A = this chain, B = another copy of it.
């Protein structure tokens, strides 16, 4: 999921629109924007689809305020009919809206506790839990219930809270999910990734720190640390797969990370081959690093069709049998009679990789050596939406040789956990939970069982 917020610019809604557009890769199923107009009234537009489908000139027109937040999301494990974020809440002490990225691991416990206290829920999102926790029951600044609430919530998450006067930007105390701050003229912007700053012409200021709440209003910026204990356990998969290559997270450019990981992958797992190929688009940087370090030429052996979209007529079974392919195709004149190194960013279920290897062999490749620019994914992730269970993870309980057999490769090798961290210059910590099973937070039984459901 991707979050974007702005305070202090006319056309706030339109700038959020462009900001969300740059974060589209973080969520392609739903999108939403909430703003407060100068009269203190909240407006929201939410819907299913891409940013350019959900929002139109017409439905953004009534939004005239200078502050607002937005969200893009995948459906993931949430209930299919859940309302799109940001969620807007109405209360006599003032309306407010909340957007979230990531997952709580103790959501079930908090929900039970809140229902016991009389709360009633319309959806299944963490944002609705937070909303009930930060309700202003008594006079006084809202920052105090926010601090209290965040200390109750365990997991990898970021939240944007919007009231008619200010935005609160919050990042979990392990820094598992990214969030950063920028400046656009006199306005401040908040985004899950810095790539959205480029698009709107904003300047990057800094990352939000783990366990930090940044408050933005007409006074400017104020900051607060809500958790005395905090770490720098950014999700390694942000560097490896999720983020856009033109984003900088916690001081490291994503493309640069991937290229470095490719170089280290060559050092740890060289291969005798004629060409290096990357799986488009997220593995191209790592493949270039591998090629650069090895001296083996990097080639575009796989082409991704740019026009495949949701309105595409799906081929019938008969046509698929006769060979109709979608999305990816192998270029025979490049891979024929070649020993190929196929670099991919990670191996989760292995389905795509298996298909690509078959395509390469059909196109005439002699050998296919798979090199994965991350360790073996053996454990589920509890902080994101793409939750595979143990039984779906190809590498779980297998040796690399067994993985090679399962996907039909001549050899398979993975990057070591150490190199995964070291590829990020100067960094000593990353969350490697899905690789090592060593999670920064506690994992609560109830959620575990839900996943294997």
Contact = CB atoms under 8 A, between A and B. Distances in A.
Interface of A: 11, 14-15, 17-18, 21-22, 24-25, 42-45, 50-53, 55-57, 60, 62, 80-81, 83, 87-92, 111-112, 115, 117-124, 131-132, 135, 137, 184-185, 195, 198-202, 204, 244-246, 248, 253, 255-256, 259, 281, 284-285, 288, 292, 297-300, 303, 305-307, 309, 311-313, 315-316, 318-319, 322-326, 329-334
Given A200-B325, A256-B334, A292-B297, 16 more contacts: A11-B319, A14-B316, A15-B324, A18-B324, A43-B81, A45-B81, A52-B311, A83-B83, A119-B119, A198-B331, A198-B332, A248-B333, A253-B331, A253-B333, A255-B331, A281-B306
A25 to B, nearest CB: 8
A222 to B, nearest CB: 25
Most B CB atoms within 10 A — which of A135, A198, A292? A198
Nearest to A300: B255
| 7 residue pairs, one from A and one from B, having the closest CB atoms | A201-B323, A253-B333, A246-B331, A198-B329, A246-B303, A44-B81, A90-B121
Contacts of A195: 303, 329
Given A80-B62, A256-B334, A325 B89 contact: no
A337 to B, nearest CB: 13
B333 A184 contact: no
A311 B53 contact: yes
Given A14-B315, A118-B118, A319-B15, A81 B90 contact: no
A300 B247 CA distance: 12
Contacts of A118: 117-119, 135, 137
24 contacts: A11-B319, A14-B316, A21-B307, A55-B313, A56-B313, A90-B123, A90-B124, A118-B119, A120-B135, A195-B303, A198-B330, A199-B326, A199-B329, A200-B319, A200-B322, A200-B324, A202-B323, A245-B300, A246-B329, A253-B331, A253-B334, A255-B334, A259-B299, A292-B298
